[in-house]
Amino acid sequence: MPFGVLNIYKPVGMTSHDVVAVLRRVTKIRQIGHTGTLDPFAEGVLPVCIGKATRLIEYFADDKEYLATVQFGSATTTYDIEGEKTFISDRKITADDIDLKPFEGEIEQLPPVYSAIKVKGKKLYEYAREGKEVEIQPRKVTIEKIELKSFDEKLQQAEILIKCSKGTYIRSIAHDLGQNIGVGAHLVKLVRTQAGKFRVDNSVQLEGIDVSANLINPLEMLDLPKLDVSGEQLEKIRHGMPIENNGYSGNIILTNDNQIVAVAQADDKIKVKKVFL
């Protein structure tokens, strides 16, 4: 069975699960999984693991980078182009009005009411569709970088680059930005340009994909310490036995001949967590 990761460019209109379904049909492999969802209206980088690489999903870096197109002058129920308008303003703004400083660093963010976050075992968008109100708790997220790339004064649209932690809702940033200025705002386009070490420049289109030709060795994309093992160490790992630790700590990738042998936890000794032999 193939073992590796794909850097897929998810197109608009497909869910992340749709992408996995297509790859399962193409490869006839069931063991396929993505590392993080993208809304159907969004596009861009979607890392997908094939075969045993699905056991590595939790170890890929989860920081993200997006290029968001924000429309000023109206707010919507979903905070994006797919929702119904809840507020309209005819006031025109300039680039000088767009203050991104409140969104820098660690912030508390209210997720959109139309989101998959669960409250009391039920997804928020299910409450919203039923017309029921539910208390939403703010969540701490980190915005490492937020930068205004361009502003079209005629269209009242801004392109904003955002590098952020896992769980950040770009829709909420667009909505809150519009509220802060007083004219309303919502997302009209969202491109994920990076997910961990996966970059949009190296992504491949799903249509007509040659999976074997585009498989990436997970070692290239995992941002964890690596230790090459052989001989007696390799045999111990094969049987799930610990090996001596020479200065490592935390999660570590054990390799042999440029292939993943195991994921391990290093403390007093290096103890195997997942074996790939």
pLDDT digits (tens, 9 = 90+) for 229-271: 999 999 999 999 999 998 899 999 999 999 999 999 999 999 9
Give yes or no: residues 124 and 48 share one domain. no
Report the alpha-carbon distance of residue 60 to residue 68 in Å, rounded: 23
Tell me the longest C-alpha to C-alpha distance in the chain. Answer: 73
Report the alpha-carbon distance of residue 257 to residue 255 in Å, rounded: 7
Give yes or no: residues 71 and 145 share one domain. yes
Whether 39 is catalytic is yes
pLDDT at 135: 64
For the chain, what is the domain count?
3
Q: What is the pLDDT of residues 101-121, one digit of tens each?
A: 999 999 999 877 656 666 556
**What SS3 string covers 58-79?**
HHCCCCEEEEEEEEECEEECCC
Give yes or no: residues 259 and 180 share one domain. no
pLDDT at 38: 87
Catalytic residue among 39, 176, 257, 267: 39
pLDDT at 39: 84
The pTM score is 0.91
pLDDT at 210: 95
Within 13 Å of residue 32, how many CA atoms lie on the same side as its CB? 24
Pair of tokens at residue 208: 């007509």
Which CATH number covers residue 216?
3.30.2350.10
**Domain membership of residue 233 as a residue range:** 226-275
Check if the beta carbon of residue 219 is closer than 8 Å to that of residue 124.
Answer: no
Report the alpha-carbon distance of residue 261 to residue 241 in Å, rounded: 13
